[in-house]
Chains A and B, each alone.
Chain A
Amino acid sequence: MDFLRPASWEEALAAKAEHPTAVPIAGGTDVMVEINFDHRRPAYLLDLNRIELLREWEVGEENVRLGASVPYTQIMENLRTELPGLALASHTVASPQIRNRGGVGGNLGTASPAGDAHPALLAAGAEVEVESVRGSRLIPIDAFYTGVKRNALQPDELIKTVHIKKADGPQQYSKVGTRNAMVIAVCAFGLALHPETRTVRTGIGSAAPTPIRAKEAESFLNAALEEGGFWDNGKIITPSVAKQFADLVSAAANPIDDVRGTAKYRRHAVGIMARRQLGWTWEQYRGTGRTLEGAA
């Protein structure tokens, strides 16, 4: 095994071009587990810790440009206003020690359906900026996950920045697990209201081969909110609408039975989370003043 330690982003891209099988390591919270347990013996480890720009973020007009290895702790502490859904999701990641090392780039690179950041990214709307010596490109988050632990990266590409839409309305995130800390999601759900475009977006985690949006549920809710004039009158959402939304979210899930839970349970739980989060976010939108931070 060789340990590659590029000092700059350009060096990292050159190393990845030369050794496309090199495994990038930043926080190490996935990669080192596989190496410790002898599940993986890559020929090259590509250390990204020395690359400053991956640990930086910038809040722009419309987007937050989040460096791939900004640790979850920093997201929780510094980006709660701009990225409330992702901040809540970050807070559910493992433990303080892990949140101090791991970042969204690793979640995307691993592309596990159970990655905590994915539902929040899907709901907020995001693009993943990847780069190789051939150039850079932006991959829409909806096109990023291509299969179980598979993503749209080419072998010579590295994840550089995640461009996430700044929240223009309330966002929520919740995760089902057996305890609060150190738990991999049985299933997870994220919801973002986008009052500027009068749309909602969703993200389902750990209940399909990849993280997915519940697009039919979104379309239904968008139409129902428009039809009832809810965005303008700010009335409480009709329970039948909330129920139909929850049912459609459940229907969008495509879970399996495994050690953490059954498919039936997961399908049920994502529906419950969807209904609750619709209630929480809508209460925030209506401006009832109840703070719901940390409801995850």
Chain B
Amino acid sequence: MRVNFTVNGRPQEADDVWEGESLLYVLRERLGLPGSKNACEQGECGSCTVRLDGVPVCSCLVAAGQVEGREVVTVEGLAEFAKERAEHGGCASGACGTPLDAAKKWEAKPGQDSQTGEGVELSPIQQAFIDAGAVQCGFCTPGLLIAADELLERNASPSDQDIREALSGNLCRCTGYEKILDAVRLAAARQGEAV
């Protein structure tokens, strides 16, 4: 079957999609967006986390046919997504999230590559992960970035408990999580300073 949907602000069309195929498979194998990682394929590890109409979900558990006409943001589009959000009055109040209409208005700009992320400055959460040394093998990183970015979007100054809860669906087998928690705290602090 054919599936039409929007990925990182660009309309995409995937052909010859098998009916039992996951969104993750379509992203990686049909659209050439390997940023979302394939590890457990059962929703346990969170490494395939993407935003579906603004909501963080495991893309391995979304059937391809279910995304027809919907909006997906992957780690490849995260920097641009965060930039657009900041420019359009982001969320400093601590309880907003992305309304569906806002998510739908968002589009990738020409001259930037939503496949590699080249030509775009890193998002604050990505920069914080680097600065805090929160990346080791990197396999869990894309999912953690999506989850952490969404947390900071709806909660500008999360408690440690909030951070732990928001990231509880993302497994990392390298870092022991401390550096990851540091990175989220760092991004939150920088976000606070910028306001």
Give the total of B residues in contact with A, Cβ under 8 Å.
29
Which residues of A from 86 to 140 have beta carbons under 8 Å from B? 94-98, 100-101
Interface string of B1-34 (1 = CB under 8 A from A): 1000000000000000011101000000000000
Which residues of B from 121 to 153 have beta carbons under 8 Å from A? 147
Pairwise interchain contact A100-B55, C-beta atoms closer than 8 A: yes
Chain B hits for A101, CB < 8 A: 57-58, 61-62
A45 adjacent to chain B (CB < 8 Å): yes
Most chain B beta-carbon neighbours within 10 Å: one of A31, A32, A182: A32
> Whole-angstrom distance from the CB of B157 to the nearest CB of chain A?
18
- With contacts A5-B65, A29-B61 known, is A97 near B169, CB below 8 A? yes
Chain A hits for B60, CB < 8 A: 32, 36
Which residues of B from 148 to 171 have beta carbons under 8 Å from A? 165-166, 168-171
> Residue on A with the closest CB to B58?
A97
Which residues of A from 130 to 184 have beta carbons under 8 Å from B? 180-182
Pairwise interchain contact A96-B168, C-beta atoms closer than 8 A: yes
B44 adjacent to chain A (CB < 8 Å): yes
Pairwise interchain contact A45-B169, C-beta atoms closer than 8 A: no
- In the assembly, what is the distance between CA of A1 and CA of B21, in Å? 10
- In the assembly, what is the distance between CA of A36 and CA of B19, in Å? 12
Chain B hits for A3, CB < 8 A: 1, 19, 63, 65
Which residues of A from 1 to 52 have beta carbons under 8 Å from B? 1-3, 5, 25, 27-29, 31-33, 35-37, 41, 45, 47, 49
Q: From the candidates B19, B41, B46, B65, name the one contacting A95 in the complex (CB within 8 A).
A: B46
Pairwise interchain contact A1-B18, C-beta atoms closer than 8 A: yes
Pairwise interchain contact B169-A181, C-beta atoms closer than 8 A: yes
> Residue on B with the closest CB to A27?
B61
> Whole-angstrom distance from the CB of A168 to the nearest CB of chain B?
30
> Residue on A with the closest CB to B69?
A50
Chain B hits for A37, CB < 8 A: 41-42
Chain B hits for A182, CB < 8 A: 44, 168-169, 171
Q: From the candidates B42, B65, B166, name the one contacting A36 in the complex (CB within 8 A).
A: B42
B43 adjacent to chain A (CB < 8 Å): yes
Pairwise interchain contact B20-A28, C-beta atoms closer than 8 A: no
- In the assembly, what is the distance between CA of A59 and CA of B66, in Å? 29
Chain A hits for B36, CB < 8 A: none
> Whole-angstrom distance from the CB of A79 to the nearest CB of chain B?
18
B56 adjacent to chain A (CB < 8 Å): yes
- In the assembly, what is the distance between CA of A261 and CA of B190, in Å? 45
- In the assembly, what is the distance between CA of A65 and CA of B165, in Å? 28
B68 adjacent to chain A (CB < 8 Å): yes
B114 adjacent to chain A (CB < 8 Å): no
B74 adjacent to chain A (CB < 8 Å): no
Q: From the candidates A2, A27, A29, A180, name the one contacting B168 in the complex (CB within 8 A).
A: A180
Pairwise interchain contact A96-B169, C-beta atoms closer than 8 A: yes
Interface string of A45-74 (1 = CB under 8 A from B): 101010000000000000000000000000
Pairwise interchain contact B42-A49, C-beta atoms closer than 8 A: no
- In the assembly, what is the distance between CA of A49 and CA of B65, in Å? 10
- In the assembly, what is the distance between CA of A1 and CA of B19, in Å? 6
> Whole-angstrom distance from the CB of A5 to the nearest CB of chain B?
6
Most chain A beta-carbon neighbours within 10 Å: one of B61, B63, B168: B61
Pairwise interchain contact B19-A2, C-beta atoms closer than 8 A: yes
- In the assembly, what is the distance between CA of A5 and CA of B43, in Å? 23
- In the assembly, what is the distance between CA of A181 and CA of B65, in Å? 29
> Which residues of B are at the interface with A, using a C-beta cutoff of 8 A?
1, 18-20, 22, 41-44, 46, 49, 55-58, 60-63, 65-66, 68, 147, 165-166, 168-171
| Known interface pairs A29-B61, A101-B61, A180-B168; 20 further A-B residue pairs with C-beta atoms within 8 A, sorted by A's residue number | A1-B20, A2-B19, A28-B63, A32-B61, A35-B20, A36-B60, A47-B65, A47-B66, A94-B169, A95-B43, A96-B56, A96-B166, A97-B56, A97-B57, A98-B43, A100-B55, A100-B56, A100-B57, A101-B62, A181-B165
The 6 closest A-B pairs by CB, nearest first: A95-B169, A181-B168, A1-B19, A3-B19, A3-B65, A36-B41
8 contacts between A and B (CB under 8 A): A35-B22, A37-B42, A47-B66, A95-B168, A96-B165, A96-B169, A100-B55, A101-B57
